Structure formats: structure tokens, C-alpha cells
Chain A
């Protein structure tokens, strides 16, 4: 049973455009929602994270939008750059679970010139 569903599987965006990746979760006990960025052959690195007490969090060109009632959250990358080309994973965790993360299946983003 997949607890975090991520879409799309792949995404092509022109340089300067907005990249949007969506995730939906099922477990209402989740209280931490990070996004990880992974380059080929490397380990994932935390990009940005949000807790359900806020609806939006912005760090530079990266924004998480969170909709608690719909159990959805999304990553927006503004002014997308070729260097943003990577695989992005959403994840979720809940208190009292040793910080275990449940990951989405990933979105491969390609930013073209």
C-alpha cells in the first residue's frame, strides 16, 4: 500500500518556467513533509520541508504548498534552471516513529534551454 503518491513521474520544463510536482498522502497522522533532491549517482539531499500548521513555505526559488484538508502538498520551482534537472522525492513522517520517512516514487525533472 503506497501511502504517499507522487506525480508526474517525469516533467520537462523550459528554462525560466515553473516546475510543479504534486504529492498526496493517506495517513492523517503524518506531521512532517520534506522534499528531497537527488542527482544521478548521488544520495538525496533535503531541499525544503513543511509541517501541517502552515499552508506555504518558501526558500528562494522553491515553495511548498500544503493543503491539509485535501491531504496534498506540492513543490513549486520558480524560474527553473538547467541545474535544477534532477529527481525529486516527496516524503512524509509522523511523530514517534523514529523519524522514519515514507517516500513518493519520484519525479524526474528536466529543464531545457
Chain B
């Protein structure tokens, strides 16, 4: 059953702690993306990766870091430098050639107190 998995679904952390969100895909897609969703602001791109061991900043990369050591995996770390980390985080993937369609995972809701 192909798709994108994100874990955990809910995550709670204390302020000042780094936290890593998991994203795995078995669609054999080259590109992967991380978005942040806040009420009334749509989806904003944090980081994206077109190929293993390479990634680029999106529109709101400050306070976040990523790695792409395997094609299937694109974990996102929310660092203590992120001023407002509480949000719904969505991972997506797509082919690079022939289609712009992005497939989304179910999301992780992060709450930092």
C-alpha cells in the first residue's frame, strides 16, 4: 500500500527542546517537501529536497533543519530557535518529471509549551 507516513500524529514538547518529525514515503518519488500549516495562513514551505543528500530552504526555513540521507526519508527537526513552533506539519512528495502533483502525508500536530 503506497503512500506517505508521518509519525507521530501528535507531539508535545517543552520550550527549548529540539524535536524531530518523521516522514517516510514508498512511492519512489524523487522530491520531498515539508510544509507548516497555521489557521488562516494556508500551507507554507519550510524545506524541500529534489535528490538524496541535497535540500533547499523554502519560504520559512528559519529555526528548522532537515536531512535527506535516503530517498524514502526526509525528517524535519524543529529547533529551539523556532519562535512559534506550535503548528500542524505536513510532509509531501512528488515526481520531478511529468507531473507537479504532490502527495501529502496525514500530518503531525506539534504543541510546544
Binding site for B on A (CB under 8 A): 6, 9, 32, 34, 36, 41-46, 49, 89, 93, 98-101, 103-106
Contacts and interface: CB of A to CB of B under 8 A. Distances in A.
Interface string B13-33: 000000000000000000101
A64 to B, nearest CB: 14
B40 A99 contact: no
A89 B101 contact: no
B96 A98 contact: yes
Interface range, B side: 20 to 34
A32 B102 CA distance: 12
Contacts, number: 61
A98 B107 CA distance: 21
B50 interface: yes
B42 A45 contact: no
Nearest to A9: B40
Contacts of A44: 43, 90, 104
Contacts of B44: 103
A95 to B, nearest CB: 9
A89 B104 CA distance: 13
B41 interface: yes
B45 interface: yes
Contact of B102 (A6, A101, A104, A105): A101
Given A45-B104, A99-B100, 8 more contacts: A9-B40, A34-B100, A46-B103, A100-B48, A101-B100, A105-B41, A105-B42, A106-B42
